[in-house]
Amino acid sequence: MGTNVQKKLFTPVQIGPITLKHRVVMPPMSRLRAQPGTGIPSDLQLEYYTQRASDGGLIVTEATAIAASARGYYHAPGLHADDHVAAWKRITDAVHAKGAYFFTQLWHAGRTTHVSITGSQPVTASVDPAYWADPSIVVDTPDGFRQTSPHRALETAEIAGVLEQYRAAAQNAKKAGFDGVELMAANGHLMDQFLQDNTNKRTDQYGGTVENAARRALPSASSHWRSQTRPERLRFPCRRAQAGRPRCSAENLKARRAGSATCACSAARRARRERPVPIPLPRNRFGLTACRRGERPAYPVRCS
């Protein structure tokens, strides 16, 4: 690593109201260590996050379910019940005691789950029987790794209820002492299933063009969270080029750096764009944060 890069890595950066003392940010990583079934954060998670907290640093938790029906892995944590709030509070206190900031990643798995984890039929944007028939897609269930369950499309009138679950989880995040939330909108989970054109074939206001879905779903979701939380961050479906994955076009990267668009080029869990186009996000509503290794800042952030 060059001296200049090293120097920059250890200089402060402002993220809305938060001043990080350095730029080494721990990204969300599902480790499946919550208490099985309940999703209550465990002592092992307390130890794990405390070990990784550093003075003036930032950690984003693993994907954390906004509702029982949103769960995608049996051992993943939740943030939809008082027991979750109390258990997370122990962890946020310990992380803060080491001087670090702590965000949580709010998550709805959508179709990529199993009925034994959710207790109800998985939901998504549009039905695709090939998804649950695919033996290469498996999820962590009480009986080990299993193929996903048959899913159904959310009714238009149900979507407000899902947004309400996000709002309630964001409120719980605040109660649990988190400094901000990241909304999981990538990697083939529910928001990504709405954003990608091979998984969203809807004809209501959340479908049509993917640009429409983004315009309607993201800002309206965002307005729910804005009043309830401190910084909020959106993790979009854009990944660094990896083996077998498409590379972002220069044009899309430029748009993402401007904070106004995302290229949505991931193909995680079979959610992908047949027709790659930038998704228009309201300009100036998002600042920027979070450099990933080898990239300029990629993820739009809105700080209230």
Residues at the site binding ligand FMN, with contacts judged by CB under 6 A: 27-30, 62-63, 105, 184, 186-187, 235, 240, 292-293
Closest CB to ligand FMN among residues 28, 231: 28
Residue 140 CA to its chain's centroid (Å) = 18
Closest CB to ligand FMN among residues 20, 153: 20
Closest CB to ligand FMN among residues 127, 291: 291
Query: At residue 73, what are phi and psi to the nearest 5 degrees?
Result: -135, 140
Closest CB to ligand FMN among residues 75, 167: 75
Rg (CA), the chain: 18
Q: How far is the CB of 35 from ligand FMN (least distance, A)?
A: 17
**Range 2-11 burial, b when 16+ CB lie within 10 A, else e:** eeeeeeeeee
Q: How far is the CB of 30 from ligand FMN (least distance, A)?
A: 4
Q: How far is the CB of 26 from ligand FMN (least distance, A)?
A: 9
Closest CB to ligand FMN among residues 122, 188: 188
Closest CB to ligand FMN among residues 24, 29: 29
Amino acid sitting at position 185: A
Q: How far is the CB of 86 from ligand FMN (least distance, A)?
A: 22
Q: How far is the CB of 107 from ligand FMN (least distance, A)?
A: 7
Q: How far is the CB of 57 from ligand FMN (least distance, A)?
A: 15
